[in-house]
Chains A and B, each alone.
Chain A
Amino acid sequence: MKRLVIGAVFAALTAGTAFAADTVRMGTEGAYPPYNFVNDAGEIDGFERDVGDKLCEIAKLECTWVKNDWDSIIPNLVSGNYDTIIAGMSITEERDQVIDFTEEYFPADPSSYVGLSSSSDDAITGVVAAQTATIQAAYVATSGATVVEFKTPDETIAAVRSGEADAVLADDAFLKKFVEESGGELKFLGPKVAIGGGIGLGIRESDGELRAKLNVAIQTMKSDGSLNALIAKWFDGRDGGY
């Protein structure tokens, strides 16, 4: 047994001397359509999958995709499990103190409240569901409503359906299809609220080189119109404005 353990440790310490320097591991949540989700084939899909693949192609990087829970997505970036966060993450002051962001690849998008169609606009001051560690959760906490936090985006909507929460606050584009396909069960409540800036890729602060490469690639996608085309494809023909 002991020899086995020592052997395994030795193998682990010395294995794999050959490596390509430019493999970039792209970390995403895989549960937030249309930004990112796991499709029926079990692959990561969505707007960010398209954008990420295109950015890697332009920057000539070898990229692989990694799934990670939202609430540990920043800790696992800084400890080096993957190299970027590309998961619909708004650029905020608070996050910027821990990690760095590229420039935005998606413009600031207002957040919306959704509740049952029987509820009035007052529901947004009651119990509001939001995903843990999101700008929406922080906003609800300061808005005077009672916030209940959930680990996954899907659970926030389920909480409204089950009556556990009066409303849910999330990105407008995420909620849209749930409302459209609910058969009249759900509706948007109240006015949209503008919170947070645009969405960028999260990069380790020590990884300035990767950040510079991706910024160049984002610039390229903005100027050649391919970013606008992807935004239109995934967000019902929306004009990205880049």
Chain B
Amino acid sequence: MMSFCGDPASLAGYQWWLCYLTNNNHFSLYSSFLTVMALLALTAPLAMILGFAGALARRSGIFPLNLFGQIYTSLARSVPEIIFFLFVPIAMDQAFEYIRHKIKCPEVTDPVYQGNDFVVCAAAKLPLSTSDAWVHSTYGFLLAALGFAIVFGAHAANTIHGALNAVPKNQLETAASYGMSRRQSFWRIHLPQMWGYALPGLSNLWMILIKATPLLFLLGVEDMVYWAGQISGTKTAAYYDYPHGDWRLGYFAALLVFYLLMTRVSEIVFGRLSAHFATGQATLGGGSTQGLQA
């Protein structure tokens, strides 16, 4: 990057560090931070949508909907994540490619599954083999976001389902006695009070989601932990411009600081949120801090 970085072997002191920390691999490390942020920003709202859908399905009186809610929440929560991420995105990918194969290459009569091989015609590949590398990584990223959203949506559904049940019945009965319809009491009384019960569980989920991002590499998405591992290993002078020993401790300590910061910021935000939702409510946290005992 800098003008003096042309011959790394001749560098010393701060110049070596400046050049080393700005080489392409380090830029990949820094930009993977954005990848993780983008994943969180995309996955969290998606998972909340799926969580609400799952929770409402489980409360539904309509049998197929109820059954779907039950199956979704129990299945996605019980399968170990590492298996889930190996299976679901690959299954989705193969399903997309299979449909494209049927649409685009109807003339190909060879079976798609040949022994171990999954073979679709070149035009059905997703992304196409000719696509740029960024298309491949964006596609992998979207598959990953969808996979994360499905798993964490199931956990969120369970939390929200429990929180909806935790709202005291007499609150809803009072609402009914005031003449509110079911819909009105759900939006005005039930849902706002639910948050106070759901937030501790949801904040746990958020923390687990932050930590789960290294699973991304299973899908070919290179996150910070992957790049830190790649860069920090011993580099011999025979093949690398910036040889160094085993620096994993330093890189992973930096990651530790990053994750601790993320945790701290999240705690502050969730603290504010729960104070907000507890206002005026006779819940454990709300009642004692809002001076409602008297």
Contact = CB atoms under 8 A, between A and B. Distances in A.
B24 interface: yes
A33 B238 contact: yes
Given A157-B234, A205-B114, A17 B246 contact: no
Interface string B225-269: 000011001101111111100101000000000000000000000
Contacts of A54: none
Contacts of A241: none
A16 B118 contact: no
Given A13-B99, A80-B118, A177 B236 contact: yes
Contact of B128 (A16, A42, A204, A206): A16
A228 to B, nearest CB: 20
A19 B241 contact: no
Given A19-B130, A178-B234, A205 B24 contact: no
A80 B119 contact: yes
Interface in B8-39: 8, 23-25, 27-28
Contact of B237 (A20, A25, A37, A181): A181
A38 B116 contact: no
Interface stretch (B90-98, B180-188, B201-209): B90-98
A12 B123 contact: no
Interface residues of B, number: 51
B233 A39 contact: no
B62 interface: no
Size range of the interface on A?
A: 35 or more
B115 interface: yes
A189 B233 CA distance: 23
Nearest to A62: B130
A80 B120 contact: yes
B131 A78 contact: no
A69 B129 contact: no
Interface string A55-72: 000000010101011001
Tell me what chain A mostly uses at the interface: helix, strand, loop, or mixed. loop
A158 B233 contact: yes
Interface in B72-118: 90, 93-94, 96-97, 99-100, 103-104, 114-118
A17 B123 contact: yes
Interface in B112-149: 114-120, 122-123, 125-131, 133, 136
A98 B127 CA distance: 24
A46 interface: yes
Nearest to B93: A79
A80 B233 contact: no
B280 interface: no
B133 A46 contact: no
B192 interface: no
B238 A177 contact: yes
A21 B129 CA distance: 9
A38 B230 contact: yes
B103 A13 contact: yes
B166 interface: no
B118 A205 contact: no
Contacts of B94: 79
Interface of A: 1, 12-14, 16-17, 19-21, 23-25, 31, 33-34, 37-43, 45-46, 62, 64, 66, 68-69, 72, 78-81, 83, 98-99, 152, 154-155, 157-158, 161, 177-178, 180-181, 204-207
16 contacts: A20-B130, A23-B128, A40-B8, A40-B240, A40-B241, A64-B133, A69-B217, A72-B218, A78-B117, A83-B129, A155-B233, A158-B234, A158-B246, A158-B248, A180-B236, A205-B116
